[in-house]
Structure 1
Amino acid sequence: MKTDTIVLGAGIVGTSIALHLARRGRSVVLVDRRGPGEETSFGNAGLIERASIYPVAFPRSLTALVDVALGRNPAANYHWSALPGLVPWMYAYWRASAPARILDYARTMEKLLARSIEEHDRLAGPSGATGLFREGGWLKLYRSEAGLANERNEFPLAHKYGLTAREIGVDEALAMEPSLRPVFTGAVIWSDPHSSSNPGGVTKAYADHFASMGGRIVIGDARTLARAGAGWKVMTAEGEVEAAEAVVALGPWAMDVLGPLGLRLPFAVKRGYHMHYRAEGNAALSRPVLDEEGGYVITPMVGGIRLTTGVEFARRDAPKTPVQLARTEKIARGLFPLGERADPEPWMGSRPAFPDMLPVIGPAPGQKGLWLAIGHQHLGFTLGPVTGRLLAEMMTGEAPCTDPAPFAATRF
């Protein structure tokens, strides 16, 4: 099978790239070991986080670090066995989380975030996925005045970029979400983000639209990617596929392909878990709710109320250790009337991450015809479509919608 482009990885990023390339007349084969949207893109809080100009940064205060080390922060967990290999990466992450560099991050990421909702809309309409999205922003709850004060620090930068963040009292928060219990002292409503009731379903809808345009979706092993003359080839269930260009959009598995090609990038994963619950009685949510100090997000999904945990630092393929889920479930039951678990076991995924918290979008250094779209951290679902547009523009010689230089792999 010959095609113009092979896209490896059928998550939200790879699927969006394939769809954008197909829209530009390229023949594309989208390769994954499973179906579209069944891996990392399936398990998230469902947010198009338009307002995420502040990253999920490494703790800078000694108190916060001690809380993580002693297991007192429900948003964080770690495996001792993984830490030695993560030390250089975590040190770079800590440095990138300095206040001045956070402002640099915000200026850079705003260029992508500003287009995140618009680019989802452009794909959702033709894909028939509009009904899987909702407006209304998301609600952040704070159990202490100190936590609320930290959130207020984000307001000036948010307002600079035209974002709407408004502090509200407990009564107004309960009017928005009547099923919550008043176990918090204050809240902030961020109105700009949108959310989805089925992130995996969104990716599948985009993939179906890609297929309707003539794109091919095949099962294959991305690790078989190899040179084929001046181009690339990969083995699939339908035989060998050859193309002039290939795109690696493999999320946490990217280095399984790039490492053997000699590419060295400071890449790590942040594992996370989720579980769906029935709501007791007539309890309901209309938007995602973050319990900042509780360390979790609850989101209304087609499968029930999804509780999504924070970060676990561990080897990607280590067995599940859903201790954060056990901790946060107890806390969440005090906030919202969660009923019985709706899933047979906790879902676990790995968020691919670079220490500077920016993705890599662009050509692979020293590998002609190979392109990268990896390392989107907590913003993969948010940035999938705009990443797809940006990379497709670069690959087809169009003027890019934003300067891709800050996302180049050569920055490392």
Structure 2
Amino acid sequence: MSREVIVVGAGIVGVSTALQLQLRGWQVLLLDRQGAGERTSFGNAGLIQREAVFPHAFPRALGTILHYASNRATEVRYQSSMLPRLGFPFWKYWWNSQPERHRQIARHYAALIGHCLEDHLAVAALAGATHLFRPGGYLQVHRHRHSLEAELEAARYKEEHFGVEYTVLDDAGLQARVPGLQAGLAGGIHWQQPLAVLDPHALTLAYLDYFWPRAANFALLPPQRWKRKARAGVCAARGSV
């Protein structure tokens, strides 16, 4: 049986997916309209988030919904002309974000997140890129007590069900960790397991450099040609490991 696949998009997700498939014996054609890792993966925060076992939920608070609806939030941008087509998907997103339903989905989602550190470290070792990782996790700081309490409730659930590790810091503990931080904060959470990526673009390119020699199978194509190539059954890569 043919084991060929096309991966569209050569950011860190696309390159990682293509490489993992190749390591499992698949022949992979990786497509992008520009150089690998030159869009979102060029300037993202660079965290491999072992603690992120919950997918992002649709907001429940009216104030948060109105904030996003203004289309001025950095987290969400949309085209108003698309809203009529997004009504039903948004409703499904909202329904699946109800607390109990969200926790059920997290059990499946966490299966992907639970081994993200080991998988990245293994591939980075092959690609000679482990120097781009920095252990130690990250600090999540809260100004308000109510937001800290809500996050702590989720943290306890993550620890119990998914093995997430964290410590709680009060304002004094934050000041000791980060001198000069604003005083009077509610506190924070130190998520201990995540890895920081010092240069996300460099990591993407390192993975691609390991992927590429095994087949000439990374193509820069304008978007209008992707569909035409896929319809033609193009899967030109013949290299695998």
Instruction: Give the TM-score range, shorter chain.
Output: 0.7 to 0.9
Rounded Cα–Cα distance in structure 2 between residues aligned with 1:181 and 1:243? 54
Deviation, structure 1 residue 131: 1.3
Task: Name the residue aligned to 1:9.
Answer: 9
Task: Name the residue aligned to 1:226.
Answer: 230
What amino acid sits opposite 1:224 in the alignment? Answer: R
Rounded Cα–Cα distance in structure 1 between residues aligned with 2:5 and 2:70? 48
Rounded Cα–Cα distance in structure 2 between residues aligned with 1:201 and 1:167? 33
Task: Name the residue aligned to 2:164.
Answer: 163
Give SS of 1:178's match.
coil
Alpha carbons 2:134, 2:197 under 8 Å: kept: yes
The structure whose residues are more often strand, as a share, is 1
Deviation, structure 1 residue 84: 2.9
What amino acid sits opposite 1:120 in the alignment? Answer: H
Rounded Cα–Cα distance in structure 2 between residues aligned with 1:73 and 1:36? 27
Task: Name the residue aligned to 2:99.
Answer: 99
Which 5+ residue runs of structure 2 have no aligned equivalent?
A: none
Task: Name the residue aligned to 2:55.
Answer: 55
Alpha carbons 2:53, 2:114 under 8 Å: kept: no
Give the 5 Å matches for 1:391-406. Answer: none
Rounded Cα–Cα distance in structure 2 between residues aligned with 1:154 and 1:10? 33
Alpha carbons 2:217, 2:236 under 8 Å: kept: no
Alpha carbons 1:148, 1:187 under 8 Å: kept: yes
Deviation, structure 1 residue 242: 4.1
Alpha carbons 1:132, 1:202 under 8 Å: kept: yes
Rounded Cα–Cα distance in structure 1 between residues aligned with 2:89 and 2:227? 24
Deviation, structure 1 residue 66: 4.1
Rounded Cα–Cα distance in structure 2 between residues aligned with 1:27 and 1:81? 39
Give SS of 1:154's match.
helix
| TM-score of the pair, normalised by structure 2 | 0.83
Give the 5 Å matches for 1:113-132. Answer: 113-132=113-132
Which 5+ residue runs of structure 1 have no aligned equivalent?
A: 234-240, 245-391, 393-412
What amino acid sits opposite 1:226 in the alignment? Answer: A
Alignment deviations for residues 147-185 of structure 1 (CA, whole Å, 9 cap, x no partner): 111112112311112111222112222222225333622
Alignment deviations for residues 326-369 of structure 1 (CA, whole Å, 9 cap, x no partner): xxxxxxxxxxxxxxxxxxxxxxxxxxxxxxxxxxxxxxxxxxxx
Give the 5 Å matches for 1:252-331. Answer: none
Alpha carbons 1:27, 1:215 under 8 Å: kept: no
Task: Name the residue aligned to 2:191.
Answer: 190
Task: Name the residue aligned to 2:23.
Answer: 23
Number of residue pairs matched? 234
| TM-score of the pair, normalised by structure 1 | 0.51
Rounded Cα–Cα distance in structure 2 between residues aligned with 1:79 and 1:220? 25
Alpha carbons 2:55, 2:109 under 8 Å: kept: no
Deviation, structure 1 residue 73: 7.1
Task: Name the residue aligned to 1:354.
Answer: none
Deviation, structure 1 residue 199: 1.3
What is the CA RMSD across the aligned residues, in angstroms? 2.9
Deviation, structure 1 residue 121: 0.5
Give SS of 1:153's match.
helix
Alpha carbons 1:22, 1:215 under 8 Å: kept: no
Deviation, structure 1 residue 135: 1.1
Deviation, structure 1 residue 203: 0.9
Alpha carbons 1:6, 1:243 under 8 Å: kept: no
Alignment deviations for residues 214-243 of structure 1 (CA, whole Å, 9 cap, x no partner): 443222242322344xxx12xxxxxxx647
Alignment deviations for residues 110-134 of structure 1 (CA, whole Å, 9 cap, x no partner): 1111110110011111112111111
Give the 5 Å matches for 1:242-253. Answer: 242=236
The structure whose residues are more often helix, as a share, is 2
Alignment deviations for residues 289-308 of structure 1 (CA, whole Å, 9 cap, x no partner): xxxxxxxxxxxxxxxxxxxx
Give SS of 2:103's match.
helix
Rounded Cα–Cα distance in structure 2 between residues aligned with 1:114 and 1:174? 31
Task: Name the residue aligned to 1:135.
Answer: 135
Higher RCO (CA-CA < 8 Å; seq separation 6+): 2
Rounded Cα–Cα distance in structure 2 between residues aligned with 1:157 and 1:131? 33
